[in-house]
Amino acid sequence: MKITILDYGAGNVPSVERALQRLGVRSHRTSSPECISKAEALLLPGVGHYAALVRALDEKHLRAALIDAIHRGVPFLGICLGLQVLFNSSEEASELRGLNLLPGTVRALPPSVKLPHMGWNQIEKKRETSLLSGIAPGAYFYFAHSYAALDSNAAAASCSHGAEFAAVIERRNIFAVQFHPEKSGDSGARVLQNFLRLAA
């Protein structure tokens, strides 16, 4: 199996590639709708500003191809911004539309805590998710974000920093994590491996 990584120009693509390489998996980058339509499994990494991601998806005409592939059941993994873009919209750029595959708005974490939420935090499982299979309770994951899905019913695991938010999402073939598995040591590698097994 080969993983297709959506390269929209501002993501952390090399780190994700290296993480997949360590797991012995082939991946290739694309920014073309044709390649997305042919993909066996899709990965959308993301760092930076929500607007940059959404604008790139539209400028490169990737939005329709991506939504179509996900509707057809192609396994999808979104990382960080790649999770946030699944929702209707985000407070980070409220004039832009997200992919609208999950209901709700991505909101700013409360200013009562230090932001960005940066560093290693633990997550709490809400229900069984194959993405966390083999992960010990209390495992830490690396987060770096200021916005989050605060009240998503799709959350399979949550994390808390000033407010509770979705850390892991699993709905049918849609998988997403707010943390960076490619930067989360052994626990992160395990999450990626779980996705690869699900996608195979």
User: Is the CB of 35 or the CB of 120 nearer to other proteins?
Assistant: 120
Residues 35-64 vs other proteins: string with x where CB under 8 A?
A: ------------xxx---------------
Please count the helices (runs of H) and the strands (runs of E) in the chain.
6, 13
Report the first-to-last Cα separation within the chain, whole angstroms. 6
Of the candidates 57, 70, 51, which has an alpha carbon nearest to the alpha carbon of residue 8? Answer: 57
User: Is the CB of 30 or the CB of 184 nearer to other proteins?
Assistant: 184
DSSP assignment of 64-125 equals HHHHHHHHTT--EEEETHHHHTTSSEEGGGTTS----SS-SEEEEPPTTS-SSEEEEEE-EE
Residues 127-156 vs other proteins: string with x where CB under 8 A?
A: ---------x---x-x-xxx----------
Selected from 15, 31, 32, 105, the binder of other proteins by CB under 8 A is 15
92 is catalytic: no
Q: What is the CA radius of gyration of the chain?
A: 15
182 is catalytic: yes
145 is catalytic: no
Question: Which residue ranges make up the site for other proteins (CB under 8 A)?
Answer: 10, 12, 14-15, 18-19, 22, 47-49, 111, 114-124, 136, 140, 142, 144-146, 159-161, 180, 182-186, 188-189
